[in-house]
Structure 1
Amino acid sequence: MPNPTIIFVDDDFICNHDICEILNRADFTVVTAYCAAAALDAIATGDPLSGLVTDIDLGPGADGFEVARRARAAYPDLPIIYISGTAAGRHPFEGVSDSTFLSKPCSPQQIVAALNRAIRLEAT
């Protein structure tokens, strides 16, 4: 069985790189995006996806909430995990349903655990 493929979106290069390394070691295939436009391009390919992890504040352009809405439009049951140090209060109002929110700073292990829970729940 192939590794689950996820898109990881964070405009902080160091954070993105470090977390993606851990996700790869945890047997995820990671598509890395540093902005909303790159994430939306990755979603538009139509390749099979098992999850999306996105920061909320992604700089100019769309935010993580918009990325998640577009991902859910393309993949209705896609597990979504938001990570942010500033948007916890917005998640209940702007986040897609059945999504998870992790406050930054969060450890890569917390992200791995949240993905494993979300993907396992989707598989049942």
Structure 2
Amino acid sequence: MFPKPTTFVDDDPILFVDDDALCSLDTCTALRELGYNVLCAHTAQGALDTLGGQRALTALVTDIDLGEGPDGFEVARTAREAYPHLAVVFISGTAAARHAAEGVCRSEFISKPYEPQQIAEALDRTMKLEAA
């Protein structure tokens, strides 16, 4: 399908969070086809539970608007507390203007709709930043 990113890590998973089940299924499948180990969550609470149970993560890809409760910005801040060098990519169809003010540093933003390759490329860039 697409070439593997240069910063590919096979053991430590990435966490993909989106309350849109179809979008999540499509993107997680595409990322797995690229060779990523992907954990999926459909709510902020599900993401926070996953974060609490992981020994290591490579990256977080999160929608910003996750319905009731915490949003993707809060998920990212919590994730960065647990994993200070975690690569973070935000996705949203509505919250682009909020990324600069509320997103974590060294993160990227991708507008919906997107192609899975855009996620892979953003992961590659942000993983390189965090590895430096």
TM-score range, shorter chain: over 0.9
Alpha-carbon shift at residue 4 of structure 1 (Å): 4.3
Cα distance in 1 for partners of 2:21, 2:53 equals 23
2:87 to 79, 93, 112: 79
1:32 to 29, 33, 40: 40
Cα distance in 1 for partners of 2:112, 2:100 equals 17
Alpha-carbon shift at residue 40 of structure 1 (Å): 0.3
Per-residue CA distance 1:16-46 (angstroms, 9 max, x = gap): 0000000001111001000000000111113
Count of residue pairs brought into register by the alignment: 124
Q: 1:21 and 2:18 equivalent?
A: no
2:99 to 54, 67, 91: 91
2:65 to 40, 57, 61: 57
Relative to the length of structure 1, the TM-score reads 0.95
Cα distance in 2 for partners of 1:55, 1:99 equals 13
Report if the CA contact (8 A) 1:4-1:27 is conserved: no
Per-residue CA distance 1:83-111 (angstroms, 9 max, x = gap): 00100110111101111000111111100
Identity among equivalent positions (%) equals 52
The alignment's C-alpha RMSD in Å is: 1.2
Alpha-carbon shift at residue 117 of structure 1 (Å): 1.8
Cα distance in 1 for partners of 2:125, 2:106 equals 12
| Uncovered stretches (5+) of structure 1, i.e. residues with no partner | none
Per-residue CA distance 1:67-91 (angstroms, 9 max, x = gap): 0000001001101000001001101
| Uncovered stretches (5+) of structure 2, i.e. residues with no partner | 1-8
Report if the CA contact (8 A) 1:11-1:59 is conserved: yes
- Amino acid in structure 2 at the alignment position of 1:75: Y
Cα distance in 2 for partners of 1:64, 1:21 equals 21
Report if the CA contact (8 A) 2:90-2:109 is conserved: yes
> Where do 4+ consecutive residues of structure 1 move more than 4 Å?
none
Q: 1:2 and 2:7 equivalent?
A: no
Relative to the length of structure 2, the TM-score reads 0.89
